[in-house]
Amino acid sequence: MRACVLTEYGEPLSIRSVDDPSPTPDGVVVRVEACGICRSDWHAWQGHGEWADDRVSRGQILGHEPAGTVVETGERVHAYEVGDRVAVPFNLGDGSCPRCLSGHGNRCVDGSALGFSSDAPGAFAERVHVPHAEYNLLALPDGVDPVDVAALGCRFMTAYHALAHRVSPEPGSWVAVHGCGGVGLSALSVARAAGHRTVAVDIREEALALAGDVGATVTVDATAECVVDRIHEVTGEGADVSLDALGRAETCRNSVRCVRPGGTHVQVGLTTDAERGEVSLPTDWMTRWEVSFVGSRGMPPTRYDELFGLVESGAVSPETLVTREVALDDVSDRLAAMTDYGTVGVEVVTTF
Ligand SMILES: [Zn+2]
Ligand SMILES: [Zn+2]
């Protein structure tokens, strides 16, 4: 099959022919019909994550936001069969440890990350293998299109888990979102669907326009005004919840500083090689005002039905974030465009 392989950090990815995957006894093979391109792919391509022992190895097939159709099943898989339409979360659990069994599969220590771990080749390929399929696979509801699902994961599910499970603001709360890329725009739509008021922050006009399209109450251009002052002015005493969807020192600190006393900052974006995994924070101020710092990553596979319910009811529309459908051969160019924040919304590979 054709697959998109990371051969050297920052160099064009190699489109090459590799062996088709075959299923482990509890795994399945999925024919990929759509796979979103994400800033996490860009981080992997840049060789980031070394500081957290999380650098993707050369030789990895990237791609972690797939949807498609089951084409082969392992002998112990009974819940899925050939022809089933499925989505695959990137955070794959082993399905059997205490964390997986208690509903926190995204924290599985023995799990793997699709398209990042060397034991989980990714989905910028014609086919992808899903281990522990009965735990990890998600059956697509009728009428939900693979392209929409590729737009859902990982950004939408990450945003949903952050705002529905890691923090649960009261309806009507003020939610600030720093960085209006895929995950930021998703967070704005999730927050709107939950009845919150939102402030969207970015430095790009097109991104702020898209934020307006998904229902941001107020948009703030960080090149033109002081983000923290403006959010305090808009919200009265600060945001109830603020989310850093980008992962730069400045967006992280702005997000912490813009919350109200007793408010919560949620970190979703991973840092770049400028921060190398560490950002200094106003800890005395956070202590004085009892501000919480919460980390959030992916979403447990066991909670996808909540998100599919929102899509089916029309409360959120991930397809509105899709700005471009591309071919496997274009992935390198699209990742390169992310270096200068040259992509807007969500781009999805649909031609393999
Ligand atoms: Zn586990
Ligand atoms: Zn992603």
Q: How many angstroms is it from 135 CA to the middle of ligand 1? A: 10
Percent of the chain whose pLDDT exceeds 90:
82
User: Which string of b and e fits 129-142 if b means at least 16 CB within 10 Å?
Assistant: bbbbbbbbbbbbee
174-188, 219-233, 247-261, 308-322: range with lowest mean pLDDT: 308-322
If you average pLDDT over residues 249-260, what whole number do you get?
98
CA distances from 274 to 249, 277, 278, 340 (A): 8, 9, 9, 15
The mean predicted confidence, pLDDT, of the chain is 94
Amino acid at 224: A
- pLDDT for res 330: 96
Distance CA 25, CA 20 (A): 16
User: According to the per-residue pLDDT averaged within each range, which of 20-24, 45-49, 346-350 is highest?
Assistant: 20-24
Q: How many angstroms is it from 155 CA to the middle of ligand 2? A: 6
Distance CA 47, CA 50 (A): 7
- pLDDT for res 109: 93
Among the bound ligands, name the one nearest to the CA of residue 157. 2
Summarised one tens digit per residue, pLDDT across range 77-90 is 999 999 999 999 99
Output phi, psi for 157, to 5 deg. -70, -35
Distance CA 176, CA 188 (A): 8
Distance CA 186, CA 163 (A): 11
Q: Is the pLDDT at 254 greater than 80, yes or no? A: yes
Q: How many angstroms is it from 187 CA to the middle of ligand 2? A: 14
DSSP per residue, 215-234: T-SEEEETTTS-HHHHHHHH
Residue whose tokens read 């992280």: 252
Instruction: Give yes or no for a contact between 94 and 100, defined as CB atoms under 8 angstroms apart.
Output: yes
Q: How many angstroms is it from 11 CA to the middle of ligand 2? A: 20
Q: How many angstroms is it from 6 CA to the middle of ligand 1? A: 27
Q: Is the pLDDT at 52 greater than 80, yes or no? A: no
Percent of the chain whose pLDDT exceeds 70:
100
If you average pLDDT over residues 35-62, what whole number do you get?
91
Enumerate residues with CB within 5 Å of ligand 2 (an ion).
Answer: 38, 40, 154
- pLDDT for res 297: 94
Contacts 24+ apart (CB under 8 A), 233-240: 234/174, 234/199, 235/174, 235/176, 235/197, 235/199, 235/260, 237/261, 238/174, 238/263, 239/174, 239/175, 239/176, 239/199, 239/263, 240/169, 240/170, 240/173, 240/174, 240/175, 240/264
Provide the token pair at 32: 């990929």
- pLDDT for res 272: 87
- pLDDT for res 45: 95
Provide the token pair at 249: 């020192």
Stated pTM of the model: 0.91
- pLDDT for res 273: 85
The secondary structure element, H or E, covering residue 307 is helix 304-312
Instruction: Give yes or no for a contact between 205 and 186, defined as CB atoms under 8 angstroms apart.
Output: no
Summarised one tens digit per residue, pLDDT across range 91-142 is 999 999 999 999 999 999 999 999 999 999 999 999 999 999 999 999 998 8
